[in-house]
Copies of this chain bind each other. A is one copy, B any other.
Amino acid sequence: MAKQARAVATRQQIVSAAAATFDRLGFERASLGEIVEASSGLTKGALYFHFKSKDDLAQAVVDRQHTISIAAVEAIATTDASALEQIVMLCHEMGRQIVEDPIVRAGIRLTLEFSAGTTPGKPGPYQDWIEACRHLVETAIAEGDLLPTIEPPVLARFVISAFTGVQTVSNVLDRRADLEQRIDQMWQFLLPGIVTPDRRPDSDRIRLARWIRDPALA
């Protein structure tokens, strides 16, 4: 049992080192040697024991990122915020994860790199986020916050797309230093066009909704 726990810890250590390396160098330039170097104290043998190839490692990083994303969605769902506030919270939480968590950054970079070529892209994080957002849009319409004419999959896709572009351009132009502010501006422009007339006076309050993580989980 202790042996198994050690194996899990080693595997996690490898995935973290791989994520840091993919985040820094991208898939092509990252070598298994670099990944071993990025992990403190691992050997190439240990790495090969757990993962067959660089592709395998990349998949493990993307899977881990998926788990992190879903955990945030589920945690936000347990708050008593309205579904529309939860969408705003989710965008800010995705922004925080990208800024603070190399596994999330690496997952996004790998997804982009795999889809930049001519082979069909792996949906990766986008599909997760769109699906979570679609579900919240449906609830927000039922709660009378979003216009009933909105098609949930279409708005969900646009929210995640707009978020993706906001974080991409923020990275290119400002190394994401202004990301939180740019996400806030996105909602400033978007909310007035999608909320019901009843909720328009509440737009500023909705825009400022934030999820505060339990510090015990940080």
- Is B172 in contact with A123, judged by CB distance below 8 angstroms? yes
Q: List 26 A-B contacts (CB under 8 A).
A: A24-B117, A26-B113, A26-B116, A26-B117, A28-B29, A112-B172, A116-B171, A121-B173, A121-B175, A123-B172, A123-B173, A126-B169, A126-B172, A154-B185, A158-B182, A158-B185, A160-B165, A161-B165, A163-B165, A164-B168, A165-B165, A168-B168, A189-B193, A189-B194, A192-B193, A193-B193
A215 within 8 A of B: no
A190 within 8 A of B: yes
Closest to A150 in B: B189
A33 within 8 A of B: no
- Is B169 in contact with A161, judged by CB distance below 8 angstroms? yes
Given known contacts A26-B28, A112-B116, A115-B172, what 17 new A-B pairs fall within 8 Å (CB)? A24-B118, A25-B117, A28-B28, A112-B112, A112-B172, A115-B171, A121-B172, A157-B185, A158-B185, A158-B186, A158-B189, A162-B186, A164-B168, A164-B169, A168-B168, A190-B190, A192-B193
What string of 1s and 0s marks CB contacts (under 8 Å) between A130-144 and chain B? 000000000000000
What string of 1s and 0s marks CB contacts (under 8 Å) between A95-113 and chain B? 0000000000000010111
With beta carbons under 8 angstroms apart, the residue of B29, B118, B154, B157 that contacts A169 is: B157
Q: Complex Cα distance A117/B30, Å? A: 12
- Is A169 in contact with B160, judged by CB distance below 8 angstroms? yes
Residues from chain B with Cβ under 8 Å of A157 in the complex: 169, 182, 185
**Chain A to chain B: the 8 pairs with minimum beta-carbon distance, closest first:** A165-B165, A193-B193, A192-B193, A164-B165, A121-B172, A28-B28, A115-B172, A161-B165
Closest Cβ–Cβ distance, residue A117 to chain B (whole Å): 7
**This protein's copies in its complex:** 2
A155 within 8 A of B: yes
- Residues in chain A within 8 A of chain B (CB atoms): 24-26, 28-29, 109, 111-113, 115-118, 120-124, 126-127, 154-155, 157-158, 160-166, 168-173, 175, 182, 185-186, 189-194
